Amino acid sequence: MAARRSRIPATKYPVERFTLDNGLRVVLTPDRSAPVIGVAVVYDVGIRSEPEGRTGFAHLFEHLMFQGSENLEKLAHFRHVQGAGGTFNGSTHLDYTDYFETLPSNALERALFLEADRMRGPRLTEENLRNQVDVVKEEIRVNVLNRPYGGFPWLTLPPVMFDTFPNAHDGYGSFDDLESATVADAADFFRRYYASGNAVLAVSGDIDVAEATELVNRHFGDVPARPAPQRPDFTEPDLTAERRTSYTDALAPLPAVAGAWRVPDPITDFAGYLPYVVLAEVLTDGDASRLVERLVQRDRTVTSLGGYLGFMGDPFDVRDPTALLLQAHLPPGGDVDKVLRTIDEELDRLASDGLTDGELARTQARMATHLLRDTDAVLGRALRMAVLEQQRGEPGLLNELPRLVGEVTEEQVRAAAATLRPERRAAIEVIAGGAR
């Protein structure tokens, strides 16, 4: 075990944490190696938090946060960031929404001003709302309705696996719900979830900690204090019988299938959760992986295959309930039942016979490489630390993740594989309607 740990490189990014009087949590991680900074603000509200009758509202509100504020007109945020040579964006996840910038380090105060300004209040007008509803509807058309395999499986599988609205509903939103949204709804959503006490600010890169602390206090210190809302309970029991369904995709040229199994709570049982993260990679990462070698190369029953944790591929920034997913595209006339049976056979073989020489170490080395690469850039570091602070109060866990992945044992991976039984699986089949 000691030899294995020594092969996994570690990071030692420094972490400074403090909380403002208004409840805003702040994480600073200085790195003076290049004159660039990453700034991220994460709000503890995501797809699972949106109320019934307002599907898609978390994503819609992400759009509204870019439509100006009480102090800045529409598009001003864009001009101020790009005018300083920076880039920006935002994204909506199951359990949080983030906003972020990469900028030259001399633009730190500009970024802090912009984020604090819209934290005080975005410009919520009927014109902005209707415009962004139309933008989101067009996004749904492009990414889901008019695209082969649109929403597969991140939108189509949760309703099979889960029964409660927070976990099962369409996070992109229905057109009816989006069109019926009002400015009052948006104002209430902002008041409830976009509170300073419900947010984390992270700054990474070329900063002086004392100076950055002073600037954070200057710009965020007078944001009105509002506490974090009570987080809804997303708990659901595990499956006790297999659930399967299918649908025809008129645009899909080939059949496809996805299956998912519940995994331990990634927050409260992290040690129990990690073996599943490694298992997904053992099964699907690279040509030498278990299922790729069997299904793609040997049996040729699928044309492509992938596996990951979390419906949005987010193993280290998602709460319970979540799942290990496997998805595959099949050749014309492919047999979905045979594919699922083969997956079951390989899981049983892994659980009973264990891994081959070097299989686990190779997988862990690749995973560590990806983790190190993803946080090498200052923005990736800021985003990861912000979410780790938000969900765990442990931004420094970023430094430990490669080592912890490397310490997962073969016995733990085998035990995880043994739990992925057919009776605990939810599966969805895409019937190709676009094949010629």
Instruction: Give the model confidence (pLDDT) of 92-106 as tens digits.
Output: 999 999 999 999 999
Q: Where in the chain is the domain with CATH 3.30.830.10?
A: 16-221, 243-432
Q: Which of 217, 223, 35 is nearest to 109 (CA)?
A: 217
Instruction: Say which residues have a Cβ less than 8 Å from residue 327's Cβ, sequence separation at least 6.
Output: 152, 153, 256, 257, 258, 259, 305, 306, 307
Residue 259: strand pairing partners: 326, 427
> How far, in Å, CA of 173 to CA of 112, rounded?
31
**Residue 6 clears pLDDT 50, i.e. is over it:** no
Strand partners, 92: 97
pLDDT recorded at residue 9: 78
Is a pLDDT exceeding 80 seen at residue 435? no
For a pLDDT cut of 70, what percent of the chain falls above it? 98
Give pLDDT, residue 2: 37
Question: What's residue 70's pLDDT?
Answer: 83
Q: pTM of the full predicted structure?
A: 0.95
Torsion angles phi and psi, residue 191, rounded to 5: -60, -40
pLDDT band for position 433 (cuts 50, 70, 90)? very high
Rounded distance between C-alpha atoms, residue 113 and residue 119, angstroms: 10
pLDDT for 166-202, tens place per residue? 999 999 999 999 999 999 999 999 999 999 999 999 9
Q: Is the pLDDT of residue 122 over 80?
A: yes
SS3 state at 246: strand
The angle subtended at Cα 378 by Cα 376 and Cα 384, nearest 5°, is: 80
Give the whole-angstrom CA distance, residue 144 versus residue 156: 11
pLDDT for the residue numbered 1: 37
Structure tokens at 73: 């007109």
The C-alpha atoms of residue 90 and residue 114 are separated, in whole angstroms, by 14
pLDDT in tens, 43-65: 999 999 998 999 999 999 999 99
User: Per the structure block, which two tokens stand in for 6?
Assistant: 């020594």
Q: ω before 224 within 30° of 0 (cis)?
A: no
What's the length of the chain? 436
CA angle centred on 295, ends 157 and 257, rounded to 5°: 15
For residue 249, the cross-strand partners are: 432
Q: Where are the alpha helices (DSSP H) in 65-173?
A: 76-83, 108-120, 126-140, 158-161, 165-168
pLDDT over 90 percentage in the chain: 94
pLDDT in tens, 205-233: 999 999 999 999 999 999 999 999 998 88
Q: Which of 387, 372, 394, 318 is nearest to 100 (CA)?
A: 387
Please state which architecture CATH assigns to domain 243-432.
Answer: 2-Layer Sandwich (3.30)
- Starting at the edge strand that comes first in sequence, how are the strands of the sheet with 425-432 ordered? 243-249, 425-432, 256-262, 323-329, 304-309
Average confidence (pLDDT) over 141-157: 97
3 pLDDT band, cuts 50/70/90, is: very low
pLDDT of residue 436: 55
Q: Which stretches of 141-208 are DSSP H helices?
A: 158-161, 165-168, 175-179, 183-193
DSSP output for 17-83: EEE-TTS-EEEEEE-TTSSEEEEEEEES--GGGSPTT-TTHHHHHHHHTTS-BSSS-TTHHHHHHHH
What's the chain's average pLDDT?
Answer: 95
Residue type present at position 201: L
Amino acid at 356: T
Give the count of beta carbons closer than 10 Å to the beta carbon of residue 394: 14
Q: Which CATH superfamily is domain 16-221 in?
A: Metalloenzyme, LuxS/M16 peptidase-like (3.30.830.10)
b or e along 330-340 (b: 16 or more beta carbons within 10 Å of the residue's beta carbon)? beeebebeebb
